[in-house]
Structure 1
Amino acid sequence: MKIAIPHSLLYYYYFPLWDTFFKELGFEVVDTGPTTKGILDKGSKAAVADICAPIKIFTGHVIEGLNVADYVFVPRFARIKKPEYFCPKFMGLPDIIEGTVEESKGRVISPIINEKNNENISSPKIYEMLTEMFGFSHREIRLAMRKAEEVFKRFKNLMNKGLSCDKALDSYRRGIWEENLKKVKKDGDITIAVLGYVYDVYDSFISMDVIKKLEALGVNIKTFEMVPQEVAYNNLKHYRKRLFWTFSNRVLGAGLHYLKDPEVDGVIHVTAFGCGPDAIVGRFLQYESDVAGKPFTTLRVDEHTGEGHMITRIEAFVDMLRRKKWAKLSEVL
């Protein structure tokens, strides 16, 4: 039996967990692959017009997955940390898909993820609905998830050791873990913290490979998932209250961490047009960057963003950082 996992949204963060879990249960897992213009066009045509680009892309991946698999995996994300929640679109994602993609009826696997404090989303009770759908025993679910959790913890360790999410995914696919991981080289002359949700930063089509473009310019990269959760949240303590959304807090907390990091020369915030939570995160990051005295810029992406515009913005920002750094060195000399 084939199950498709859409190569979109939180795929970039949780794929090793889900991939291992379903394979342990005997499913053939189908990865819908990187976003293409065709996938985006399918999603844009099916989704409501004013929804954000990441959901349109996800919808396109669902359509792609239904063409090659028996079922498609669309979890309902409510929360993984009390009292925070996910964006309402994540909470209603299975309903959005079933309401816009006709062929998805009866073919969507949508466990409800509503945890008080479980970033690993590894509680077997989350996936107990599989016992009713496919007849798995509770023991089979528990053993499969135990293996998946082990894999996911090792995957997160790769990121905490300095690998970006996409490079950690590549290591997972090749079976290269922390004991085989060589020290991450930092050969560039400047370092930029690239902040944003994983589905904005690592979707190579929508972000036009912003990470690779920066690396091609000789830039060292730091991202939010390299910062352990407890470190990110410790940086939020000076606020009277945290934001309502978990990954928004993670991105903001990591941003505050990097603004205090002497190695970081500047910050880029990658955000999708029309994202409500990101509108707030972006303003916080901009304000805190001004206070810290570090250059900050926003790359706002959607399905209409042109590559020329993106490259010009990136090159100008990198050039400005280099000039600023050279000016400081000249003053010292």
Structure 2
Amino acid sequence: MKIAIPHSLLYYYYFPLWDTFFKELGFEVVDTGPTTKDILDKGSKAAVSDICAPIKIFTGHVIEGLNMADYVFVPRFARIKKPEYFCPKFMGLPDIIEGTVEESKGRVISPIINEKNNENISSPKIYEMLAEMFGFSHREIRLAMRKAEEVFKRFKNLMHKGLSCDKALDSYRGGRWEEDLKKVKKDGDITIAVLGYVYDVYDSFISMDVIKKLEALGVNIKTFEMIPQEVAYDNLKHYRKRLFWTFSNRVLGAGLHYLKDPEVDGIIHVTAFGCGPDAIVGRFLQYESDVAGKPFTTLRVDEHTGEGHMVTRIEAFVDMLRRKKWARVSEVL
């Protein structure tokens, strides 16, 4: 039996967990592949017009997955850390899909993820609905998830040691794991923290490969997922109240950490046009960057894929950072 995992949204963070779990249960896992213009067009046509680009892209991947497999995996994300929640679109994602994609009726696997404190989303009770749908025993589900959690912890360890999410995914797919850590190079003359939700930063179509473009310019990259959750939250302690959304807090906490990091020369915030939580995160990051005296810029991505403006902005930001760094060196000399 085939199950498709859409190559979108939290795929970039949780794919090793889900891939291992379903394979351990005997499913054939189908990856819908990187976003293309055709996938974006399908999603934009099916989704409501005023919804954000990441959801349109996800809808396109669901349509693609339904053509490739018997079922498509669309989890309902409510929370993974009390008292925070996910964006309402994540909470209602299965409903959005079933309401806009006619072919999805009866073919969507939608576990409810509503945990008090479980970033690994590894509790077997989340996936107990598979016992009713396919006849798995609770023991089979528990053992499969135990193996998946081991893999996911190893995957996170790669990121905490310096691999970006996309490179850690490549290591997982290739079975190389820690071998790739030896290839991590930090030989650029400037370092930029690229902050944003994984589905904005690592969808190469909508972000136009911002990470690779920066690396091609000789920039060292740091990202939010390289910072462990507890470290990110430690940086939020001076606020009287945290934000309502878990990954928004993760991005903001990582940003505050990098603003104190002497190796980081500047911050780029990658955000999807029309994202409500990001509008708040972006203002916090901009304010805190001004206080810290570190350059900050925002790159907004959407379904309109003109590349020229982004390349120009990236190159200008990198040039500005280099000039600023050279000026400081000249003053010392």
Question: What SS does the aligned partner of 2:136 have?
Answer: coil
CA contact (8 A) 2:161 2:181 kept: no
Find the residue that maps to 2:177 and give its secondary structure.
coil
Change (3 A) 1:271 1:291: same
CA shift for structure 1 position 187: 1.1
Between the aligned partners of 2:269 and 2:184, the Cα distance in structure 1 is 23
Q: Distance in 2 between matches of 1:286 and 1:22?
A: 41
CA distance in 1, matches of 2:236, 2:99: 38
Distance (Å, rounded) in 2 between the aligned partners of 1:29 and 1:255: 35
Q: Which residue of 2 aligns with 1:102?
A: 102
Displacement of 1:181 in angstroms is 3.1
How far does residue 184 in structure 1 lie from its aligned partner after superposition? 1.9
Per-residue deviation, 1:176 = 1.5
Displacement of 1:197 in angstroms is: 0.1
In 2, are the aligned partners of 1:3 and 1:72 still within 8 Å (CA)? yes
- How far apart in 1 are the matches of 2:301 and 2:28? 33
| Superimposed CA distance per residue, residues 266-291 of structure 1 (whole angstroms, 9 cap, x where no aligned partner) | 00000000000000000000000000
Distance 2:244 2:68 in 1: 37
Write the distance in 2 (CA, Å) between the matches of 1:287 and 1:214: 24
Give the superposition deviation at 1:185. Answer: 1.3
Please give the per-residue CA displacement for 1:172-195, whole angstroms capped at 9, x wherever unaligned. 001122366316210100000000
Q: Deviations over 1:22-48 (max 9, x none)?
A: 000000000000000000000000000
Alpha-carbon distance between aligned partners in 1 of 2:278 and 2:51, rounded to the nearest angstrom: 14
Q: Secondary structure at the match of 2:180?
A: coil
- 1:75 equivalenced with 2:75 (yes/no): yes
- Tell me the SS of whatever aligns to 1:181: helix
Q: Is the 8 A contact 1:270 1:301 kept in 2?
A: yes
User: Does residue 1:251 correspond to 2:255, yes or no?
Assistant: no
- CA RMSD of the aligned region, Å? 0.7
Give yes or no for contact 1:16–1:148 (8 Å, CA) kept in 2: yes
- 2:185 alignment counterpart: 185
CA contact (8 A) 2:194 2:270 kept: yes
SS at match of 1:68: coil
TM-score (normalised: structure 2)? 0.99
Q: How much does 1:72 deviate?
A: 0.1
Q: Given that residues 157 and 178 in structure 1 are in contact (C-alpha distance below 8 angstroms), is that contact kept between their aligned partners in structure 2?
A: no
Tell me how far 1:98 sits from its aligned partner. 0.1
Where do residues 1-333 of structure 1 align in structure 2 (5 Å cutoff)? 1-178=1-178, 181-182=181-182, 184-333=184-333
Q: Percent identity?
A: 96
Q: CA deviation at 1:305?
A: 3.9
What SS does structure 1 have at the residue aligned with 2:182? coil
Residue by residue, what CA displacement relative to the aligned partner does 1:87-137 show, whole Å, maximum 9, x if unpaired?
A: 000000000000000000000000000000000000000000000000000
* 8 A contact 2:266–2:294 mirrored in 1: yes
The question of whether the paired residues in 2 share the 8 Å contact of 1:115 and 1:121 is answered with: yes
Q: Deviations over 1:269-327 (max 9, x none)?
A: 00000000000000000000000000000000100141001100000000000000000
Answer whether contact 2:171 2:180 (CA < 8 A) is retained. Answer: no
* Aligned-partner Cα distance in 2 for 1:19–1:331: 53
Partner Cα distance (1:176, 1:86) in 2? 32
Contact 2:162/2:181 (8 A) holds in 1 = no
Provide the rounded CA distance (Å) in 2 between the counterparts of 1:4 and 1:177.
24
Contact 2:164 2:225 in 1 (8 A): yes
- Helix, strand or coil for the counterpart of 1:268? strand
Is the Cα contact below 8 Å between 2:163 and 2:181 reproduced in 1? no
- Tell me, in whole angstroms, the C-alpha distance in 2 between the residues paired with 1:185 and 1:12: 22
Q: Deviations over 1:213-235 (max 9, x none)?
A: 00000000000000010000000
Secondary structure at 2:232 match in 1: helix
Gapped regions of structure 2 (runs ≥ 5): none
Which segments of 5 or more consecutive residues in structure 1 lack a partner in the other structure?
Answer: none
Q: Find the aligned partners of 2:179 and 2:271 in 1 and give their Cα distance.
A: 34
